[in-house]
């Protein structure tokens, strides 16, 4: 993402003129990060060197999991987890429709079928009762999404999976650093998937990770991200020295040493990044929880979200100009609002492939109509937060009058 550029004159101490919007999210790169990357550029290894193992160990330790396997993106990591879980043609996995399309796409890559289940009205994460309704004899996995960084209802989901012998692949691409009942997200589900895209909590440019406590999943993940080539050192030592065996159809999904060096440096600031995001969320919520036209995001008891997004819900009955009116007014005020997410089953590809399921997930679809994502990122300044607060107040005032 391009950094916001302030017009010349800032250095001279004149008033700053905003020439780029405050984005909904963006990365922060320090001099220390740059030095860490440069060090790799001067080294023997650009890819699959010491930084990969070091970053994997650091992420595993950070989330409290036994294993962490890096991938070239969060999407590739999701694909790897679906492979490691053994899902194939005809198998079903229950997932949320209110997510980025990659969550469901990763099942299709392996020939498996995403079966959507509706979400809870407060957190907009998978509703365990709805999962139960959608489970069939073909169901092999549940893919909960930690929407906006708020953990899914993991107690119920893990109990349900246990009772039915299902594998839980948690899409925590929005939830690195979140806590559920005082435990880090990353070692609760069978596999947990993270993304290091620049809008997320730490970045490697592009990158992702699967964390797990199960050695067999870790082994399959490592094989899958390296063309399906078996990694067994015993096998190698008993054969010709050049021998290796490709035993499954894998991909080149490796994350480079360059990316991992950046990730290692960024990971040092994860706690600080989350703390900053939480402080911004608290400031927003304190102002907006009393307002009639806005519903701030819910935080359930015992949960500490990672605040990837700050999605509000608008009371459309009080806003004759609708969400589009509020959206337009905020974009005009240079506030980079967005909408997360267009329900996956409503995308043309999914409608063509699986039939038009619109209307089948009323909570997700209803929430989608009201959702608006406001800027939240760790580099956001107090002044930028104030600007957003003022712009939202103004936009709501304008949108609450009929047009014209
Ligand atoms: C960001 C994200 C992904 C994809 O991650 P990439 O690293 O961009 O491939 C998948 N699922 C969710 C919920 C995400 O937010």
Q: Whole-angstrom distance between the N-terminal and C-terminal Cα of the chain?
A: 36
How far is CA 38 from each of CA 74, 204, 259, rounded to the nearest angstrom? Answer: 24, 14, 11
Q: Which pLDDT belongs to residue 1?
A: 41
Question: What are the backbone dihedrals phi and psi of residue 210, each rounded to the nearest 5 degrees, phi first?
Answer: -115, 130
Q: If you measure from the C-alpha of residue 202 to the centroid of ligand 1, how many angstroms do you get, rounded to a whole number?
A: 13
Residues 69 and 117 placed together within one structural domain of the fold: yes
CA gyration radius for the chain? 22
Residue 11 placed within a domain:
yes
What value does the mean pLDDT take over residues 348-372? 98
Residue where a domain stops, chosen among 244, 267, 290: 267
Q: Which residue out of 51, 140, 200, 268 is catalytically annotated?
A: 200
∠ CA(58), CA(61), CA(63), 5° rounding?
Answer: 110
Cβ–ligand 1 distance for 170 under 6 Å, the answer: no
Residues 254 and 159 placed together within one structural domain of the fold: yes
Residues 250 and 300 placed together within one structural domain of the fold: no
Residue where a domain stops, chosen among 219, 247, 267: 267
**Nearest atom of ligand 1 to the alpha carbon of 99:** 13
**Nearest atom of ligand 1 to the alpha carbon of 76:** 9
| Choice among 74-88, 107-121, 222-236, 331-345 with the minimum mean pLDDT | 222-236
What value does the mean pLDDT take over residues 300-327? 96
Partners of 95 in the β-ladder = 116, 143
Q: If you measure from the C-alpha of residue 198 to the centroid of ligand 1, how many angstroms do you get, rounded to a whole number?
A: 11
Q: Which pLDDT belongs to residue 121?
A: 98
Q: Which pLDDT belongs to residue 240?
A: 82
CA 165 to chain CA centroid, Å, is 26
Q: Whose CA is closest to atom 14 on ligand 1?
A: 173
Instruction: Reply yes or no on whether 200 is catalytic.
Output: yes
The tokens for 138 are 């073909």
| Rounded Cα–Cα distance for residues 334 and 22 (Å) | 6
**Nearest atom of ligand 1 to the alpha carbon of 78:** 10
Residues 224 and 295 placed together within one structural domain of the fold: no
Residues 82 and 140 placed together within one structural domain of the fold: yes
Residues 283 and 249 placed together within one structural domain of the fold: no
**Edge-to-edge strands of the sheet including 92-95?**
67-71, 208-212, 191-195, 167-171, 139-143, 92-95, 113-116
Q: If you measure from the C-alpha of residue 102 to the centroid of ligand 1, how many angstroms do you get, rounded to a whole number?
A: 6
Residues 248 and 326 placed together within one structural domain of the fold: no
**Model confidence band, residue 291 (pLDDT cutoffs 50, 70, 90):** confident
Residues 73 and 9 placed together within one structural domain of the fold: no
Count how many domains the chain has.
2
The DSSP output letter for 165 is T
Sign of CA dihedral 96, 100, 104, 106: negative
Residue 404 placed within a domain:
no
Cβ–ligand 1 distance for 74 under 6 Å, the answer: yes
| Rounded Cα–Cα distance for residues 300 and 152 (Å) | 10
Q: What is the pLDDT of residues 152-166, one digit of tens each?
A: 999 999 999 999 999
Residue among 1, 100, 373 to mutate when testing ligand 1 (max atoms within 8 A of CB)? 100
Q: If you measure from the C-alpha of residue 195 to the centroid of ligand 1, how many angstroms do you get, rounded to a whole number?
A: 6
Cβ–ligand 1 distance for 197 under 6 Å, the answer: yes
Q: If you measure from the C-alpha of residue 108 to the centroid of ligand 1, how many angstroms do you get, rounded to a whole number?
A: 16
209 Cβ contact list (under 8 Å, min separation 6): 56, 59, 68, 69, 70, 71, 77, 193, 194, 196
Residue among 71, 74, 169 to mutate when testing ligand 1 (max atoms within 8 A of CB)? 74
| Rounded Cα–Cα distance for residues 306 and 147 (Å) | 10
Residues 291 and 245 placed together within one structural domain of the fold: no
Q: Which pLDDT belongs to residue 209?
A: 98
pLDDT of 290 > 60? The answer is: yes
**Nearest atom of ligand 1 to the alpha carbon of 195:** 7
> Domain of 321: which CATH number?
3.90.1150.10
pLDDT of 203 > 50? The answer is: yes
Cβ–ligand 1 distance for 98 under 6 Å, the answer: no
Residues 214 and 308 placed together within one structural domain of the fold: no
List b or e across 176-214, with b for residues whose CB sees 16 or more CB atoms inside 10 angstroms. bbbbbeeebbbbbbbbbbbbbbbbbbbbbbbbbbbbbbb
Q: Which pLDDT belongs to residue 278?
A: 98
326 Cβ contact list (under 8 Å, min separation 6): 314, 319, 372, 395, 396, 399
Residue where a domain stops, chosen among 248, 267, 286: 267
Which residues form the domain of 190? 31-267
Q: Which pLDDT belongs to residue 362?
A: 98
Q: Which pLDDT belongs to residue 237?
A: 67
């Amino acid at each position: 993402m391009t950094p916001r550029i302030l017009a010349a004159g800032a250095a001279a101490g004149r008033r700053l003129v905003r020439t780029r919007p405050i984005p909904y999210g963006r990365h922060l790169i320090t001099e220390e990060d740059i030095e860490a990357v440069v060090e790799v550029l001067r080294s023997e290894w650009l890819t699959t060197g010491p930084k990969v193992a070091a970053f994997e160990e650091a992420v595993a330790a950070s989330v409290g999991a036994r294993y962490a396997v890096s991938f070239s993106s969060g999407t590739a990591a999701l694909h790897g987890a679906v492979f490691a879980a053994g899902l194939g043609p005809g198998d079903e996995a229950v997932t949320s429709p209110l997510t980025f399309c990659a969550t469901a796409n990763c099942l299709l890559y392996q020939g498996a079928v995403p079966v959507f289940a509706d979400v809870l009205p407060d957190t907009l994460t998978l509703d365990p009762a709805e999962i139960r309704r959608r489970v069939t004899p073909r169901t092999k996995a549940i893919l909960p999404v930690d929407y906006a960084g708020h953990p899914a209802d993991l107690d119920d989901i893990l109990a349900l999976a246990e009772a039915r012998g299902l594998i839980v692949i948690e899409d925590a691409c929005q939830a690195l650093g979140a806590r559920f009942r005082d435990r880090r997200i990353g070692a609760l589900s069978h596999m947990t998937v993270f993304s290091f895209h620049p809008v997320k909590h730490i970045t490697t440019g592009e990158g992702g990770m699967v964390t797990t406590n199960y050695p067999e999943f870790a082994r399959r993940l490592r094989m899958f991200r390296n063309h399906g080539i078996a990694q067994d050192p015993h096998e190698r030592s008993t054969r010709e020295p050049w021998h290796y065996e490709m035993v499954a159809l894998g991909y080149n999904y490796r994350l480079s040493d360059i990316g991992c060096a950046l990730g290692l440096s960024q990971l040092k600031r994860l706690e600080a990044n989350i703390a900053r995001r939480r402080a911004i969320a608290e400031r927003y919520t304190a102002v907006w929880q009393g307002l009639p036209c806005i519903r701030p995001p819910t935080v359930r008891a015992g949960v500490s979200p990672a605040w990837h997004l700050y999605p509000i819900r608008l009371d459309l009955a009080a806003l004759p100009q609708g969400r589009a009116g509020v959206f337009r007014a905020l974009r005009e005020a240079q506030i980079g609002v967005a909408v997360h997410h267009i329900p996956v089953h409503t995308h043309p590809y999914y409608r063509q492939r699986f039939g038009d399921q619109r209307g089948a997930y009323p909570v997700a679809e209803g929430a989608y109509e009201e959702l608006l994502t406001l800027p939240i990122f760790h580099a956001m300044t107090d002044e930028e937060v104030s600007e957003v607060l003022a712009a939202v107040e103004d936009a709501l005032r304008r949108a609450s009058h009929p047009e014209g």
